[in-house]
Amino acid sequence: MLRLRRIFFFQIAVYCLISILSIGGGLVSSAYADEAKASPPLATKTSQPVLDATEAKDLISILNDPEQRDKLVATLKSLEKVQSTNLVDMPHSILESVLQTGRDLLHKVSEAFHAFIAGIANFKALLPWLLQVWNDPALQSEIVRICLRVAVVGLGGWGLSYLLSYLFRGVRGKIKEKAKDLALRAEEAQQTLDLAKQEADDDLAEAAHLEEVLAKTKREMENALKEETLRQEQLSQTEQNPQETLAHAENLAARQALEEVENQAIVAQTMALSDSPAVKAPILNLTDTKDVGTDNKASLSSENSQKDFHQEKPTKVHKAVLEAEAKIKQLEETYQKIEDECRHAKEAAQQAQKKYDDVRQNNQKANLFSRWRRTPYALAGFSLDLFGIAMFPFLALLIQILDPTPDARTMEAVWSVTWFANVVQTLWVAVLRVLFNPADAWLRIAAISDQAAKFLFKWLRRISGFVAWSLTIIIIFQACTLPGSVSSAIGKLVGLFANLMLARMILGARPYVARSCLMVANRTPKLATISNLVRQLWWIVALFFDIALWWVWAMNMRDGYQLIFWVFIKTCVALIAARLLWLLIQYFLDIGDLWIRKEDNLSAEMQERFLRYYPALQKMLGTIVLVVMFIFIAMAWGVPASHIFASNALGRHILSSGSAILVSLAVGVFIWEGANIFFDRQSKKLLATDSGEKQRAARIRTLQPLLKIILLIVLIATIGMTILSELGVNIAPLLASASIFGVAIGFGSQKLVHDFISGVFLLLENALSVGDAVTLNKTYGRVEKLSLRTVHVRSGNGSLNIFPFSSLNEITNYSRGFCRVVIEANVAYDTKVEDVHQVYLEITESLNNDPKYADYIIDALDFWGLDHFNESTLCIKATLPVTPAGRWPVTYEFNRRICEAFEKRGIKMPFPMRTVDFPSLEAFLKSEDARSQPFKA
């Protein structure tokens, strides 16, 4: 709301600025009226004869002469070309219309500025007057005489005024003391009012708290009273109906006797069965026993209960009834006391409120009476000021009487200084001191704060002093034969500076007016809305009328004040209508936003997509409302609708071009978001199904960035060309340049195009996807990213390998469908193939039973058998179908378990060995052994 309020204030400020400019230029309506007057209708132009008799004869002679006729035809063709060229140069685009309108507006503003300067700065006659004064000694002596008499009146009057003020200082001091005593009594009355208000507030708060506590206690007592009353009624019924109570006691006793008989029968039957198993104990008929026991016990219990009831009646029931009655009586007494306390509390609160109202009413009367009692003291001070004011006309009268050579100009200057600069100004300051005495609050009649009084007194005295002395100086110069045009220009400048000072005063008074409006809003909540509106807008209206009124006076506009009034009213209506329209739009936007946030059928992502465009839509609609507001303001200022929406007018171009641009942007956003939603929904839909569809989802996710980039480029190019075309830019050269640039790029970037096209076909064939385990150009890794022309593969050692699509000569994808783990073991020649086969089967079974690897295996082991012979081993192979994700985990685990199983079974996996024979060495060693044998013997 703060942003909307700033926009609204900005609109009003712009309105004031343009209103002032329009008033300075004589308003747009008068301009259009002058234009209409300057260009009479076609009938008026063609009402006069175009050719006379002589020109008609010359034309006939030209037509009869072939050479002259050919020249005339050539001239007419040239004129036709010039006219067609002029027609072509007419603005047909929004940019041309903006430039043309800007030039027209600048021309009108310059005309208005020149008219303004000519109206208020007409100092052409100043230099001749100065030269006349310089060359005329008699005029110089007259000016000196006038200045001397004016100085005598001014200085003498101020001296006598200060002298009288000094003489009357005792009387003024006594007046201040009396007024101060009165003010002190008023302050004491105000303190008494504040104390009474505080006491009344405390009494009201205490009464309200007591009333709340007592009301709560009252509710509790009422509930307790109801409970005790109900209990008393029950006891009373017990006392009044002893037979019913006795019957209830008899039934209870009979039920207890029946339960005892049944228990005894069950116990007897159990004991008989446990003591003599061979003898069948008679089973008691519980029904008969029940009847017998019931009759016996009932009769016995009835007698006992009746006897006990008649014995206990006087001791229990009657006693309980008496206690209940006593408690009810006690509760009733307590309840009565609570009601009395509540009534006393209410009476105390009412008395406190009445006391406060009486004190407040008395204080208001006392304040009003104090204001009236201040008036005599303020008027007494004002009367003392009048003595000093009377000194100025007294001195002027003395000068008029004692002047030996008086003349009309001199006395006019003297009396102007006397009345304007002294009497009127001093009298106005005295009145301001009576109303807003900033120094002595007890002599102030106006009920305002000290700061507000200082502010008003300071600025009103400044403005009045500036105006009074300026007018006095102008009159003196007029008495000195200053030309009227120069004095009029000076007077307009003086009015301008006075209005600027008043504008500064209006801006400085904003805090005080705001504080007053807030006080009114707090005291009268019904006027809160109007008070806030006044607090925010009053200074704008005041500035408008301050400058506009001076402008009308300075420019001597006929019916200018009436024109200002109607322009202001119409503009206010336009602003209010625009504000209501914006509030209506904001209301529907808020409803849409609330519906999107609360709609259950929309996912969080969809809500985020819709809400992403909410600020942009809000700004766009705000701009439209702003444009519509300016159009209505222009119409309110008198601009005809035909000039706004003419064939080549700016309004027509803005409407048509803006509509086309908005439609193109909306269609582009719709296509872009529709494509994003389609891709996301397809990916989520496929991911929620089986693995085959998940591969399609991965394929869509892989192609999605590429398709989004292509779609974004197409949309930007199309919408950009549309916007440029609507703005008036000729896009034919752009298209030609783009085509030439495209051909040049095509020849210079064949490799890039080759990479791009190869990547498109690879992606369409689903050869690669993000996350696949692949071997590209003998480099194994996982696909991390697919761009327009490259594929990024992360290898096992962590390095990132980037391959252009056109360089992929060999592609091995391990993530398509399924994989086979190739199991290969090299064992010794003495190992049986069946033993290795059995080991393979056991390991496969153990992996199927292991939950960590069971999900990876998708089929049974495929044993190939003895594959080939090595130099020292037998190669035995098998394959195990697994998922692409389980290829390496199953391979590593299977090989580990093969090692463990071969070690347990004693199956050897020999490593390569080579034997070297040396026969001569062997013979030599044998001979050496033979030689050494005799010595050993």
Tens-digit pLDDT profile for residues 261-283: 444 444 444 444 344 333 333 33
Q: What is the C-alpha to C-alpha distance for residues 302 and 781, in angstroms, rounded to an integer?
A: 101
pLDDT of residue 504: 92
- Residue 285 gets the label, from left (phi > 0), alpha (psi -120 to 50) or beta, of beta
The residue among 647 and 247 whose pLDDT is bigger is 647
> Sorting pLDDT into bands at 50, 70 and 90, what band is 478?
confident
Residue 414 structure tokens: 């003297």
* pLDDT higher than 70, residue 779: yes
The residue among 702 and 382 whose pLDDT is bigger is 382
The closest alpha carbon to 458, from 431, 436, 441, belongs to 436
Q: What is the C-alpha to C-alpha distance for residues 364 and 358, in angstroms, rounded to an integer?
A: 10
* pLDDT higher than 60, residue 151: yes
> Sorting pLDDT into bands at 50, 70 and 90, what band is 53?
low
Q: What is the C-alpha to C-alpha distance for residues 763 and 765, in angstroms, rounded to an integer?
A: 5
CB neighbour list of residue 735: distance below 8 Å, 6 or more residues apart: 721
Mapped onto helix, strand or coil, the DSSP state of residue 157 is: helix
665-683: average pLDDT: 82
b/e string for 137-162 if b means 16 or more Cβ within 10 A?
Answer: eeeeebbebbeebbebbbebbeebbe
CB neighbour list of residue 586: distance below 8 Å, 6 or more residues apart: 4, 618
CATH for the 749-816 domain, from 3.40.50.300, 3.90.950.10, 2.60.40.10, 2.30.30.60: 2.30.30.60
What does the domain layout of the chain look like in residue ranges? Answer: 170-375, 649-748, 749-816, 818-905
241-267: average pLDDT: 48
The residue among 681 and 370 whose pLDDT is bigger is 681
Helix (H) or strand (E) holding 591, with range, is helix 560-598
Tens-digit pLDDT profile for residues 820-843: 888 888 888 888 888 888 888 988
Ranked by mean pLDDT, the top range of 213-222, 429-438, 682-691, 908-917 is: 429-438
pTM (predicted TM-score): 0.50
Handedness of CA 352, 354, 360, 365 (dihedral sign): negative
> Sorting pLDDT into bands at 50, 70 and 90, what band is 307?
very low
Identify any residues that bridge with 803 across adjacent strands, giving them in sequence order.
791
711-726: average pLDDT: 85
8 A C-beta contact, residue 15 and residue 632: no
* pLDDT higher than 70, residue 503: yes
* pLDDT higher than 60, residue 123: yes
* pLDDT higher than 70, residue 50: no
CB neighbour list of residue 231: distance below 8 Å, 6 or more residues apart: 324
CATH assignment, 818-905: 3.30.70.100
Which of 26-35, 301-310, 548-557, 844-853 shows the lowest mean pLDDT across its residues?
A: 26-35
CB neighbour list of residue 760: distance below 8 Å, 6 or more residues apart: 706
The percentage of residues in the chain with a pLDDT greater than 70, rounded to a whole number, is 65
Which of 635-639, 800-804, 817-821 shows the lowest mean pLDDT across its residues?
A: 635-639
616-624: average pLDDT: 84
Q: What is the C-alpha to C-alpha distance for residues 929 and 519, in angstroms, rounded to an integer?
A: 133
Q: What is the C-alpha to C-alpha distance for residues 218 and 339, in angstroms, rounded to an integer?
A: 8
Ranked by mean pLDDT, the top range of 240-254, 600-614, 836-850 is: 836-850
Share the mean pLDDT of the chain. Answer: 72
> Sorting pLDDT into bands at 50, 70 and 90, what band is 40?
very low
8 A C-beta contact, residue 358 and residue 399: no
Q: What is the C-alpha to C-alpha distance for residues 844 and 849, in angstroms, rounded to an integer?
A: 9
The residue among 138 and 650 whose pLDDT is bigger is 138
> Sorting pLDDT into bands at 50, 70 and 90, what band is 871?
confident
b/e string for 76-104 if b means 16 or more Cβ within 10 A?
Answer: eeeeeeeeeeeeeeebebbebbbebbeee
* pLDDT higher than 60, residue 29: no
Q: How far is CA 606 from CA 192, 280, 290, in A?
A: 66, 86, 78
pLDDT of residue 91: 47
* pLDDT higher than 60, residue 189: yes
DSSP secondary structure of 718-762: HHHHHHHHHHT--HHHHHHHHHHHHHHHHHHTHHHHHHHHHHHHH
Give CA angle at 202 (201, 204), nearest 5°.
65
Q: What is the C-alpha to C-alpha distance for residues 876 and 823, in angstroms, rounded to an integer?
A: 8
> Sorting pLDDT into bands at 50, 70 and 90, what band is 232?
low
* pLDDT higher than 70, residue 928: yes
Q: What is the C-alpha to C-alpha distance for residues 445 and 713, in angstroms, rounded to an integer?
A: 76
pLDDT of residue 444: 75
CATH for the 649-748 domain, from 1.10.287, 2.40.170, 1.10.3470, 3.30.420: 1.10.287
Side by side, the strands of the sheet bearing 773-776 are 800-804, 790-795, 779-786, 773-776, 811-813
> Sorting pLDDT into bands at 50, 70 and 90, what band is 314?
very low
Cα 291 to chain centroid, rounded: 89
8 A C-beta contact, residue 319 and residue 232: no
> Sorting pLDDT into bands at 50, 70 and 90, what band is 113?
confident
Q: What is the C-alpha to C-alpha distance for residues 284 and 278, in angstroms, rounded to an integer?
A: 18
Ranked by mean pLDDT, the top range of 265-269, 318-322, 589-593 is: 589-593
8 A C-beta contact, residue 677 and residue 606: yes
> Sorting pLDDT into bands at 50, 70 and 90, what band is 233?
low
DSSP secondary structure of 881-927: EE-GGGHHHHHHHHHHHHHHHHHHHT---PPP------HHHHHHHHH
Q: How far is CA 503 from CA 132, 452, 459, 543, in A?
A: 39, 17, 11, 6
CB neighbour list of residue 500: distance below 8 Å, 6 or more residues apart: none
Tens-digit pLDDT profile for residues 344-368: 766 776 776 676 666 666 655 555 5
8 A C-beta contact, residue 793 and residue 725: no
